[in-house]
Structure 1
Amino acid sequence: MKHFIYILTILIGTIAFGQNETLFEQGNDFYNKGDFEDAISKYESILKSGDHSAALYFNLANAHYKLNHIAPSIYYYEKALILSPNDKEIQNNIAFARNMTIDAIDQTPEIGFAKFSKNITNWLTFDNWAKLSVLLMILFVVFYLVYYFNYGATKKRLAFITAMTFLILACCAVALAFNNYNLIEKDHPAIVFAKESQVKSEPNLRSSESFKLHEGTKVQILDTVQNWKKIKLADGKTGWIPTEAIKAL
């Protein structure tokens, strides 16, 4: 019975994949003909099935861009970048989409040790830092055993220094892995979808207005209180915005 269920699951998955491939090709055909609304409908049908890919998000963003849908185009370009961060075509297209936004927000530059630490941390993913730390610990054990069972003074000293070096590097890799994990956990980006929205000083309508935001602007979600989100801009400004005004990535 288990084998039958397993085979059935594979069969259903194969059929669903084939259907999504057909929908993707149909969406591309509509896009090439200039029928961008129909293309979006086909692409969104794939998303509803739970199938996600950088190519799908990219094509969906392109279709929205052609219709001057600022917020959805940036949103889906951002989703594509998450899956394919080094894709030059996605980077170029999202730059064009961002030029359509109204809000001009200067990003606060990172300097000194904070910038250096972030660059090093993001050099590898959390999983890769963890794998590297395991490899370095194995090398530490190997060279420590060489040190322990070797009787030659020079070789023993060299093996000990090498073992300690790998141990220090392993500890650094572990620290960078956890730092990378913490950066990801604190990263809660969202895109403003409302044409214009007031950002309040407190999470209620009676509070004073801090500033206004327009569609397409990227923000960071810091906190949630009922139907309000506390957000932070790239320039460091913070405030509260209605939950329905933004869409989390």
Structure 2
Amino acid sequence: MKKLIFLFAVLFSFTGMAQNSQLFEAANKAYGAGNYEEAIENYEQILANGKTSAEVHYNLGNAYYKLNDIAPSIYHYEKALQLAPGDEDVINNLSFARNMTIDALGQEESKGFYGIFESSTTAFSASGWGWVAVFCMLVFVVFILVYYFSNRTLVKRLLFISGMFFLVLAIASAVIGFTKQDLQQDSTYAIVFSEEVEVKTEPSPVSEEAFTLHEGAKVKITEDFQGWVEIELPNGSRGWMEENEVRRL
């Protein structure tokens, strides 16, 4: 019975992969033909199936951008950048999309250790660094096994040094991955999806207006309270808005 269940699980997995592959190809074809709504529908279906990737989010951002839907365009570019940090195409297109927003908020500058850490680890996402750690650990194991069965002193010395080098890389990559994940969890950002939002001084519709934001603005969420979120802008301004006005990254 367990074997049968496992077989069905494997078949379901392969079926899902084939379906997503077909959807991706259909979406790309629709995009190439200028049918951006159809392309978006197929890309969104891939995400609904539980499959996410930088390519899907990047293509979604492009499709929404073609339709001048700024908020979802920026949202998906940001999601693509989370999965593929440092990707020049994503960064450039995200910059173009931001230029179409009304609010000139600027970008939050990372300072101190956090800024140095972020700028020096953009090669991979948190999960990417995890895979680097796994790869380095596998290489370390291979070197140690060969070291164990080797009889030549010079070869054993080189294998040992190389193995230790990859072990250090594995540990460092794992630490970077966990650190990036923790930092991402501590900093929750969102994109404003409503055309115009009155940001309040308190989490109440009758409170005074602090300032106004428009679709596509990127904000940092600092607190949640009964359907409201407190947001912070790069200039330090804070206020409250209803959670359904934004979409978390």
Given the two structures, how large is their TM-score scaled by the length of structure 2?
0.75
State the Cα distance separating 1:181 from its structure 2 match. Answer: 5.1
Question: 1:51 corresponds to which letter in structure 2?
Answer: K
Distance 1:184 1:91 in 2: 18
Is residue 2:21 matched to residue 1:11?
A: no
In 2, distance between residues paired with 1:173 and 1:10?
A: 31
* Equivalent residue runs for 1:85-124 within 5 Å: 85-107=85-107, 109-110=109-110, 115-116=115-116, 119=119
- Check the 8 A contact 1:121/1:177 in 2, yes or no: no
Query: Structure 1 177/29 Cα, relative in aligned 2: closer, same or farther at 3 Å?
Result: closer
Query: For each residue in 1:76-101, what CA deviation from the matched residue of structure 2 results, as whole angstroms up to 9, or x when unmatched?
Result: 11111111112111111111111100
Aligned equivalent of 1:246: 246
Residue 3 of structure 1, CA deviation? 1.3
Residue number in structure 2 paired with 1:42: 42
- Cα distance change on mapping 1:226 and 1:64 into 2, 3 Å: same
Unmatched runs of 5 consecutive residues or more in structure 2: 138-171
Aligned counterparts of 1:57 and 1:177: Cα–Cα separation in 2: 22
Relative distance call for 1:173 and 1:73 in structure 2 (3 A) is closer
Q: How many residues are paired up?
A: 216
Runs of at least 5 residues in structure 1 that lack an aligned partner in the other structure: 136-171
Residue number in structure 1 paired with 2:77:
77
Distance verdict in 2 for CA 1:22–1:115, change over 3 Å: closer
How many angstroms does 1:236 deviate by?
A: 1.3
Match of 1:60 in 2: 60
The CA deviation at 1:74 is 0.4
Q: Distance in 2 between matches of 1:243 and 1:17?
A: 34
Equivalent AA in structure 2 for residue 19 of structure 1? Q
Counterpart residue number, 1:139: none
Following TM superposition, by how much is the alpha carbon of 1:184 offset from its aligned partner in structure 2, in angstroms? Answer: 2.2
Paired with 1:239 and 1:89, the residues of 2 have a C-alpha distance of: 33
Aligned counterparts, 1:163-182, within 5 A: 180=180, 182=182
Coordinate RMSD, CA, aligned: 3.2
Identity among equivalent pairs (%): 42
Match of 1:203 in 2: 203
TM-score (norm 1): 0.75
